[in-house]
Chains A and B, each alone.
Chain A
Amino acid sequence: MPPGGQPPERPRRGTATPFLGTEDTLFSYVDQLAEARAGQRAMIVHLSRLDRLRRNDKHRQIVVNMLQQVMDEYPGRLFALGNGDVVAICKGITRRAFDETTELFRYLFNDDPLAAESVQRADFCALFDLEIDYPQFLSALDDIRETALRQSRTRVTPQLATSAVRSPRIDALVKSLARIDIANLMRRQTVWQMSPARPPDPVLDEIFISLDRIRKASGVDVEFANDRQLLHDLMLWLDQHLLATVARYHASVMHPLSVDIHLATLLSPVFDDFDKNPAIVMRDRIIFEMQLAELTADLPGYLSATKRLQDRGYRRCLDGVSHQALLYINFRRLDVDYVKVVWDDALLQSDDQTLRELRDAIADCGSGRIILTRCGRRQAIDVGRTIGIELFQGWQVDQANRN
């Protein structure tokens, strides 16, 4: 079919919540578009070429929001790519509208070398009239695809740590896990902002691998609780899988990703390799969760790890905090972005005095930083709100909000 046929699917009109396609959906959309190019224009905003300082979620969100508004009157699609770039494809939009948008982006990022007068505009925002420039657009996307491929080739396959002390059973376990796609064992749970006056809003997604799933999938008869060294070795090996997953997806998924990571991993060369991975383009979309138990066991190590994360632009969360600990530890001084307080049914029995003290402690820490986690019952949200918590996580929360 020549250009001028029907577009591949009925693209949506702009709404308040932009739908962001990913690389895979972009490539398939563009392939289908070959048959329906009439009036279609595309723009690639190369945010990945900005200075590292500006390659972050805030700036991508601004670009996405603005493009969404530009495209409000036209049918079109937006795609967030793994490298941080944003692609807009839109039917009926004028060249002038896209040109003006380019100028707005250059204005917003006017302190970046990419927006300098001496730099070609297309190096930052490349525009394509798909009726004419379709081959050039495909070529630009091929470059992006090639880069993604190169990055995936340099992705490190998780290896076992070569520590002197190692469980004799870890090799057998890892060998058996090597036959399984660990990605299939990963699960995701959302942290929701739930203020009384507003609809629930997803803030971030935690990805994790449950040990129970690992045990079942491996087929190895092992009780981790009885072999602490095996558990330790396995956790570090799984950390590498989580890091690889975060590296691959953090820039293209809708919400920032958080992972529970062990102090030993954060302080090891494994983390340096992760940080050097060219796929890591938006560090502020990655939240590393560390356990309070690890902090108390190795305070200097914790402080060193958390400083390291902060210096490199990642966000940090302290997990495994009991509501009692909230009353005794000054979490403000620990300087983390989030604190996860574990829901405890005992809170249902708390007297007014305790609730008041908790409310004060949460206000002191900053209510926007506290996440009430493992909320397995509806009352957890009610009690949480009573003491000033706005962020919630747990299967009950996911179920209620997704419904």
Chain B
Amino acid sequence: MRTLVGRMLSRLKMKVIAAEDGQRGLQALDRATQPVDLIICDWNMPGMSGMDVFEQVRARRPGLPFLMLTGRADLDSVVSAKKAGIAGYIVKPVSQPELQTKLSFLARKSA
């Protein structure tokens, strides 16, 4: 999924920093030499969950748009994500146009 989404983003002419889990993702965010405009994260990952990552990102970079890309389509998960303040939520599988419109929305929202 990471590779697939990375490919979609590259096709959209976006620069992508990919990380295989939450811990490495946060390290990449801390070490990034260029501004990071958006985080896309899975909910279920080895180690930290997507929700844990979101909390950490919010502590480091409040207001940074965060998109949860997940297989979870149940009520509790959607309620949790909304309550936590996650701005974007996409249930997998995702198509490139779907990803693109969600990213445009997040960009407009954070502008």
Contact = CB atoms under 8 A, between A and B. Distances in A.
A111 B79 contact: no
Interface in A37-76: 51, 53-54, 58, 61-62, 65-66, 69-70
A58 B93 contact: yes
Contacts of A58: 91, 93
Nearest to B101: A111
Contacts of B106: 111
Contact-residue bracket for chain B: 10 to 19
B83 to A, nearest CB: 10
Contacts of A62: 73, 91
Contacts of A103: 82
Interface in A93-152: 103-104, 107-108, 110-111
Contacts, number: 41
Contacts of B97: 53
A53 B75 contact: no
Contacts of B91: 58, 62, 108
Contact of A111 (B73, B74, B81, B105): B105
Nearest to B104: A111
A69 B74 contact: yes
Given A53-B97, A111-B101, A104 B82 contact: yes
Nearest to A110: B105
Contacts of B89: 107-108
Nearest to B76: A69
Majority-rule SS of B interface residues: helix
B78 interface: yes
Contacts of B25: none
A58 B81 CA distance: 19
B88 interface: yes
Contacts of B105: 110-111
Nearest to A53: B97
B82 A107 contact: yes
A104 B75 contact: yes
13 contacts: A51-B101, A53-B101, A58-B91, A65-B74, A66-B74, A70-B75, A103-B82, A104-B75, A104-B79, A107-B89, A108-B91, A111-B101, A111-B105
Interface of A: 51, 53-54, 58, 61-62, 65-66, 69-70, 103-104, 107-108, 110-111
Ranked 6 nearest A-B pairs via Cβ: A111-B105, A69-B75, A62-B73, A107-B82, A111-B102, A111-B101
